[in-house]
Structure 1
Amino acid sequence: MSLAETTRTAEVMDAIRRRVTSRTLAPGDRLPSIRGFASAMRVSPSTVVEAYDRLAAEGLIRSRRGSGFYVVGGAAPLTLAEVGPKLDRAVDPLWVSRQSLDAGPETLKPGCGWLPADWMPMTELRRSIRALARADDATLADYGGARGSAALRRLLARRMADQGVEAAPDQIILTASGTHAIDLVCRFLLRPGDTVLVDDPCYFNFLALLRAHQVEIVGAPFTPNGPDLAAFGKVLAERRPRLYLTNSGLHNPTGASLSPHVAHRVLSLAAAHDVVIVEDDIFADFEPEPSPRLAALDGLCRVIRIGSFSKTLSASVRCGHIAARADWIEGLIDLQVATGFGAASPAATELIAGALGDGGYRRHVEALRRRLSLAMRDVDAKLARLGFAPWTEPRAGVFLWRRLPDGLDAAAVATAALAEGVVLAPGDVFSVSRTASSFMRFNVAQCGDPRVYDVLARAMART
């Protein structure tokens, strides 16, 4: 057997191993036919026969005369690090998230996705906590209802209406967090092996979460106005994804906003190809004037809206929400009961409703927008002095998406900075295609310490 044939055989074996590891193929499942898999892998049938014979010798599969090959043995535990492509730690979404989550108070985190504690409305939160202490016993001790607090859902319905999204309170369910909301939607609509479309680049935890659902992830290039429409349409036609998962308000990581023209075309293409859109609108309150929302334009027909208050109120008091068409809500509620036995805790929802219920939160958000605008200009100028180039100028929000100078590799710079106690977010952690190696995402609210730029300069000089 030639070297090329050996390599192709190994590729076929690896493809089968990945399907078994990710549980796309479970014990007892029949493997694809030899001719069908040869066509899919673009190899000869003899190469697939050789690969199957070797896997059978390893004990991973076995042959049944006249029937084909089947997976044997018990299912291995699902290890997300083994699902999908092997990634360098510096660009692995799970690893990058853990660096920020586990960082001590001495660590600087310009690569994380949330605001520092001293940017949050601590006076309003403490007032709500004092009020919560006077709540009835059931609020403090019992499970919440399956949909979550009716009072908070009514409040959310009014807030969504202000953003152009018409959703009755019964079309909204509360969840343990925004991430939990997306997880529930994935459980509701996806099966292992389905295809999901994301922006390239996209929020890196989308990629980690989708790994857990054992789906195929494909990307469409993202532009300052939204997804590249030609590439978006081509992916829909060729890959037939079940979902499109996106931020359309203030995009993570780029900070871009969806233009009206692109928003209408995205909805038209999604309708033509029967694709459900999950719109994560977690940064909505950072915008002084709402940019186009797919959920508003679509009327929650094929768009599901996700949100939470972890970015503007508290990441410690977890509560997310889902707004969806009425005939999907019951199924989502049943899934939430099965996986979490109820919605977000009554204590958390009471606290959030209290913080949102007066003018304090509105004044906090207005001040926050002004503070972020000043920080964005300041950080942009400091990054420019280090040679970073803009990709787009966000109209609001938290993030700057910037290109490193001189062809520097962002992952190498991030690795060097981590050794000095600074957590950065290199571009390829956000990119399905790994084509953002020269970019970094910066959280302007986390860039106030001058040490960020000193460490960044040294890391760039060493790589």
Structure 2
Amino acid sequence: MRSEPRKISLSEKVAMDIGRQILAGVLKPGDKLPSLREYARLNGYSKNTVISAFDLLGERALVEAQHGKGFFVRGVEAPPERDIDEEPVGYSRVIDTLWLMRQQAIREPGRSHLAEGFPPVDWLTYMRLDRFHRQVARSGTGSLFRYGNRYGYLPLRQQLIRRMAMHGMELGPRQLVTTFGANHALDLIIRRYVAPGDTVLVEQPGYYPLFGKLQLQGARSIAITRRVDGPDLAEFEAALQTSKARVFFMQTTAHNPTGTDVSPEVGKRLLELAAAHNVLIVENDAMADFKPNSAFRLSSLSQFKNTLYVGSFSKSVSAALRSGFIAGENAHVEELADLKMLLHIGSSEYGERVLEAILREGNFLRHVGRLQDRVRAATAEGLEVLQRLDATVYATPEQSLYLWARFEGIDDTRLLTSRLLSRGVVLAPGAFFNVDTEQVSPWTRLNVAYLNDSVFIDSIREELDQLPAMA
């Protein structure tokens, strides 16, 4: 005779429901459960039922009672959280630009993240963002429930103006509009100043997400070779004479991917040519905090005549804050502020208040100093590693988050990347930094913070040792 299933009591059902939430990570260690009275009222149970359920959870070591305080979730062994939207990509997947962008969101233990676009988290944790969140939450609560100014939170803009003055740039509050980071800034500029079918000038190798944005807009990009001291002036002048390009996108300092800086001589000539041909230069300086304030910037020389300056704190403070800005002449910035309002109504005043508090505190300058010390040491160490591997390095900057290198006998780093994925090594193939991503490239962008990684070094050596057999 088949036995009847055991009837589950209401208190056990309540305990099972809460237990599933704890094991699934919805309720985390240290979280306080609602009081007995409150839980009973919210769910329509008797107080005795809830007392019995909480007692069962205590017996199963899922919660603990703290006298006079209530019930709290205990620490339990659970599998590490994974972002289900960013599962590791299979080795057979096509390696393309979107693949590289997805890699920036994957954090896998044991992987060698040479393709990483950001500094390691432990370089940034000194800022202790939790302190500033608490500070913001205690002040200005009345305005945190409303849309902010289309230009951005005024005290933050005032702090940014002081920062720009350290770079030799003079501007007023209406010459600066805040954004959700540098990529949002580029989106706004492209929407306003690049129409479908327009010809634009870009650096090659250059910032690969920019190429995708321009392609999406329907623009035609002409590549200007990035030399060690900046864009190739002969190519730039020729492109201006033979095309109707009116916008040039470039980076002045800590160029992504080569790590190079524009020399004052090249920068001065770029501005002369831009003025002669009425071209707007978009200066993306997202890596500003990784370089000294004295580093050359086009907008410091031009004072925003024919230039727009893009800044960001994603890599120096936190990408999660999504804070950046555009600086330029009043007319340009007003148009961009209107466009920002039309598309997004406003930026996050909460996030901007957090950033303003960070910039206002003296610790930020010390943080930037530590950040530059770390990147300087990592650059020197990375150059030594590449020298031991007999790699050719495009440029040898004193401090840069990126180095642009190639390995003897390796002609296609897209194929190299595919082979190294099975060993847990992720590279950024050079082809992705070209306008034509199908163009074969022997170069790769390497993050200096991860260059002295034994898995990467051993994997490259194995590849180089196998070259005679593969030939």
1:34 aligned residue = none
Q: Paired residue for 2:299?
A: 295
1:116 maps to 120
Residue 381 of structure 1 aligns to a residue whose secondary structure is helix
Distance 1:424 1:363 in 2: 32
Question: Is 1:359 equivalent to 2:358 in the alignment?
Answer: no
Deviation at 1:182, TM superposition (A): 0.8
- The one-letter amino acid paired with 2:175 is Q
Mean alpha-carbon deviation: is it higher for 379-388 or for 219-228?
A: 379-388
CA offsets 1:56-96 (integer angstroms, 9 cap, x no match): xxxxxxxxxxxxxxxxxxxxxxxxxxxxxxxx976632221
Aligned to 1:422: 425
Residues 1:130 and 2:120 aligned together: no
Which residue of structure 2 aligns with residue 69 of structure 1?
none
| Distance in structure 1 (CA, Å) of the matches to 2:186 and 2:404 | 24
Q: Does the 8 A contact of 1:258 with 1:292 survive in 2?
A: yes
Q: Which moved more, 1:305-314 or 1:268-277?
A: 268-277
| Kept in 2: contact 1:413–1:460 (CA 8 A) | no
By how many angstroms is 1:295 displaced?
1.0
8 Å Cα contact 1:109-1:446 kept in structure 2: yes
Following TM superposition, by how much is the alpha carbon of 1:305 offset from its aligned partner in structure 2, in angstroms? 0.3
Is the contact made by 1:139 and 1:347 (CA closer than 8 Å) also made in structure 2? no
Aligned to 2:377: 374
**How many Å apart are 1:123 and its aligned residue?**
4.1
State the distance in 2 between where 1:442 and 1:378 align.
13
Query: Is contact 2:282-2:307 (8 Å) kept?
Result: yes
SS in structure 2 of the partner of residue 380 of structure 1? helix
Match of 1:213 among 214, 217, 240: 217
TM-score, normalised with respect to structure 2: 0.76
How many residue pairs are counted as aligned between the two chains?
Answer: 375
The answer to whether 1:398 aligns with 2:401 is: yes
Q: 2:349 matched to 1:346?
A: yes
Supply the distance in 2 between the matched residues of 1:460 and 1:320 (Cα, whole angstroms). 42
1:177-188 matches, within 5 Å, as 177-188=181-192
What does residue range 432-451 of structure 1 map to in structure 2 within 5 Å?
432=435, 437-451=441-455
Tell me which residue corresponds to 1:16: none
1:411 aligned residue: 414
Match of 1:322 in 2: 326
Check conservation: 2:127, 2:317, Cα contact below 8 A: no
Q: Would you say the 8 A contact 1:172–1:324 is kept in 2?
A: yes
Q: CA RMSD in A?
A: 2.0
- Are residues 1:147 and 2:147 paired? no
Which residue among 258, 269, 275 is the counterpart of 1:271?
275
Higher relative contact order (CA closer than 8 Å, sequence separation 6+): 1
CA distance in 2: counterparts of 1:232 and 1:433, whole angstroms:
18
Give the AA of the match of 2:204: D
Q: Which of the two has higher C-alpha Rg?
A: 2
**TM-score using structure 1 length:** 0.77
Q: What is the Cα deviation at residue 460 of structure 1?
A: 4.9
Provide the identity percentage: 35
Query: Residue 308 of structure 1: CA displacement?
Result: 0.8
Unaligned runs of at least 5 residues, structure 1: 1-87
Q: Is the 8 A contact 1:277 1:302 kept in 2?
A: yes
- Name the CA shift for 1:457/1:338 in 2 (closer, same or farther; >3 Å): farther
CA drift of 1:313 comes to: 0.6
Is the 1:244–1:275 contact (alpha carbons within 8 Å) kept by the matching residues of 2?
yes
SS of the residue corresponding to residue 279 of structure 1 reads: strand
Report what 2:50 is aligned to. none
Q: What is the distance in 1 between the residues matched to 2:142 and 2:464?
A: 55
Instruction: Report the CA distance shift for 1:352/1:459 in structure 2 as closer, same or farther (over 3 A).
Output: farther
How many angstroms does 1:433 deviate by?
5.0
> Aligned-pair distance for 1:418?
2.0
Contact (CA 8 Å) 1:203, 1:430: kept in 2 or not?
A: yes
Structure 2: gaps of 5 or more residues: 1-91
Retained in 2: the 8 A contact 1:425–1:440?
A: yes
